[in-house]
Amino acid sequence: MNQNKVLSVRNLVLIAMFSALAAVLETIQVAVPFAPPFYKLDFAELPVLIGGFAMGPAQAALIAIVKNLLKLLCRRARKHHWKLHVLRTGCPDLPQT
């Protein structure tokens, strides 16, 4: 059986777990010291990066898309912000596939 498939059961489970972790981490924001109050750090991209290193760039793009879909459903984010965030997060991974 081919273990390098993008959508194997193992990869689907890992994509779902990393996406859920990223959605939870997106709610935690830390203020940057000595910076204006609107600068905030969130750690939502860490699961995308870890998943990209562990599984590959196509799976990292899928993690980013699912994370943004979860954000859109839970927080009712604006649609144009969601599209820009998907492009910013997922597009650097796609040329490597």
Per-residue pLDDT, 1: 47
Strands 29-31 and 40-42: antiparallel
Q: Are 21 and 48 in contact (CB under 8 A)?
A: no
Rounding to the nearest 10 degrees, give the CA dihedral for residues 81, 79, 15, 30: 40
Q: Is 56 left (phi over 0), alpha (psi -120 to 50) or beta?
A: left
pLDDT of residue 21 exceeding 90: yes
Pair of tokens at residue 28: 């935690």
pLDDT of residue 6 exceeding 70: no
pLDDT tens across 32-82, in order? Answer: 888 888 888 878 889 988 998 998 888 888 888 888 888 777 765 555 565
